[in-house]
Amino acid sequence: MTDRFSIFSVLSQAFAGQKGWKPMWREPAPKAEYDAVIIGGGGHGLATAYYLAKEHGLTNIAVIEKGWIGSGNVGRNTTIVRSNYLLPGNIPFYEHSLKLWEGLEQDINYNAMVSQRGVLNLFHNDGQRDAAIRRGNALMLHGIEMELLDRAAVQAKLPFLDYDDARFPIQGGLLQKRGGTVRHDAVAWGYARAADKRGVDILQNCEVTGIRIENGRVLGVDTVKGFIGAKKVAMAVAGNSGRVAAMAGLRLPIESHVLTAFVSEGLKPVLDCVVTFGAGHFYISQSDKGGLVFGANLDGYNSYSQRGNLPTIEEACEEGMAMLPLLGRLRMLRHWGGIMDMSKDGSPIIDKTPVAGLYLNAGWCIGGFKATPASGWCFAHLIARDEPHPFAAAYRLDRFETGDLLDETGGGPDAVVH
């Protein structure tokens, strides 16, 4: 049996009928107690477990997932990664994430299809161009390469957008060449496999139903498979953050909303990078299979359901066709929804909670996939050392009381870049 991917193992398995591979991770029974448990087997929970084991030598840990690995947002997003944020509290964190993406496949020995095809944010008026220049300069001051494209350069790169008769004429775009896409569910599987190899127990179909606390300190979690004791409990449950934190008596500054994504039938290459529409909220890329993968804004009501609603579909298609008219000729294959943990300022929380031994990772809004590696890295640092990682120092829970908010969308006349 083999469990390492290499040219030799792939070739030998091709001749052996693919029968010699080990399962990607074990299915262990829960232990009575762990040094730490992470609630939520999404990208962030699994990355946290992996870096806890790899960077901090903590291996008596478990990831507790109510469904199956990849069933949450990590397997539902539009796969876009980038680090082109504006605010100093965000830029180093997201750039660290992008650097971790760049080395991830070698690190975890797993093909996550990291594709640095570029992310281009279009602008359609002078105010937006000024904001793009400001953002580009802020990033370049942090050593991050950005490129401002004029209309002709955008047209040469993406000839199928609407340049001639557009409701919102394209003036240019800000390009981050190192941004791109990563195969979302492969990220979950790759981190799960790599964490398991370092001794982490991955407990699927094991919903957490309660958090036990005594004298202000966490004792462990109640689950559908019984009580699991833990010295430290870390919450990384994305759209269910409000519900799980309530088990510890906490009320978070977070609302849950549905976000929908779409994929079309496959077609020949028409988009060679990720593009975002500046006159609305729409983002699109072309998958390696040829389908156009795209999304738009949130459904505008609170919900814990994982499916979207018709008005959002209409809005997404209208915005898409305003930018890329050929979309109207395609058949849609699927659309699906995920539950987004929307924080009040659009930025995440990686912090301790008022309960000793209980940690919180939440508030990723619609853009937490790109953050997965850095989120795991910084959350693991916080759990292991009980102090925030410098890159995540701004992601404090008490900023909603002190007013020290981190609001990217307040930074200029941009429609939200995804």
Q: Which of 30, 72, 118, 172 binds ligand FAD (CB under 6 A)?
A: 72
Tell me if 338 contacts ligand FAD by CB under 6 A. yes
Which region, judged by CB under 6 A, interacts with ligand FAD, from 2-10, 41-49, 263-271, 399-407? Answer: 41-49
Q: Which of 43, 92, 180, 346 binds ligand FAD (CB under 6 A)?
A: 43
273-282: b (≥16 Cβ within 10 Å) or e: bbbbbbbbbb
* Residue 71 identity (one-letter amino acid): S
- Backbone torsion region of residue 177, taken as left when φ is above 0, otherwise alpha when ψ lies between -120 and 50, otherwise beta: alpha
Q: Which of 30, 89, 220, 367 binds ligand FAD (CB under 6 A)?
A: 367
Cα separation, 151 vs 170, whole angstroms:
6
What residue is closest to ligand FAD based on CB?
42
Greatest alpha-carbon span in the chain: 67
Tell me if 78 contacts ligand FAD by CB under 6 A. yes
Tell me if 244 contacts ligand FAD by CB under 6 A. yes
For 193, the enclosing helix (H) or strand (E) is helix 184-197
Tell me if 369 contacts ligand FAD by CB under 6 A. yes
Tell me if 415 contacts ligand FAD by CB under 6 A. no
Tell me if 255 contacts ligand FAD by CB under 6 A. no
In the complex, the smallest distance separating the C-beta of residue 210 from ligand FAD, rounded to whole angstroms, is 9
Tell me if 178 contacts ligand FAD by CB under 6 A. no
Q: Quickly list DSSP for 55-86.
A: HH---SEEEE-SS-TT-SGGGTS--EE-----
159 CB burial (10 A radius; 0-12, 13-18, 19+): exposed
Cα separation, 112 vs 185, whole angstroms:
8
Tell me if 40 contacts ligand FAD by CB under 6 A. yes
Return the number of the residue (161 or 187) whose C-beta is nearest ligand FAD.
187
Tell me if 183 contacts ligand FAD by CB under 6 A. no
Tell me if 366 contacts ligand FAD by CB under 6 A. yes
Tell me if 418 contacts ligand FAD by CB under 6 A. yes
Contact 344, 405 (CB under 8 A): yes
* Cβ neighbours of residue 92 closer than 8 Å, sequence gap 6 or more: 142, 390, 391
Q: Which of 52, 73, 120, 291 binds ligand FAD (CB under 6 A)?
A: 73
Which region, judged by CB under 6 A, interacts with ligand FAD, from 77-85, 91-99, 112-120, 153-161? Answer: 77-85
Which region, judged by CB under 6 A, interacts with ligand FAD, from 51-59, 60-68, 86-94, 380-388? Answer: 60-68
* Cβ neighbours of residue 392 closer than 8 Å, sequence gap 6 or more: 93, 350, 374, 375, 378, 379, 381, 382
Q: Within 13 Å, how many C-alpha atoms sit on residue 247's CB side?
A: 23
Tell me if 180 contacts ligand FAD by CB under 6 A. no
* Cβ neighbours of residue 40 closer than 8 Å, sequence gap 6 or more: 63, 64, 65, 72, 235, 236, 237, 238, 240, 244
Return the number of the residue (137 or 409) whose C-beta is nearest ligand FAD.
409
Return the number of the residue (171 or 276) whose C-beta is nearest ligand FAD.
276
Q: Which of 295, 357, 363, 388 binds ligand FAD (CB under 6 A)?
A: 295
Tell me if 292 contacts ligand FAD by CB under 6 A. no
**Which two tokens mark 201?**
């127990």
* Cβ neighbours of residue 339 closer than 8 Å, sequence gap 6 or more: 72, 73, 238, 239, 240, 256, 257, 258, 303, 304, 305, 306
Cα separation, 81 vs 118, whole angstroms:
9
Return the number of the residue (67 or 226) whose C-beta is nearest ligand FAD.
67
Which region, judged by CB under 6 A, interacts with ligand FAD, from 16-24, 25-33, 43-51, 325-333? Answer: 43-51
Which region, judged by CB under 6 A, interacts with ligand FAD, from 118-126, 235-243, 312-320, 396-404? Answer: 235-243
Residues that bind ligand FAD (CB under 6 A): 39-45, 64-67, 71-74, 76-80, 207-208, 236-240, 244, 259-261, 295, 338, 364, 366-370, 418
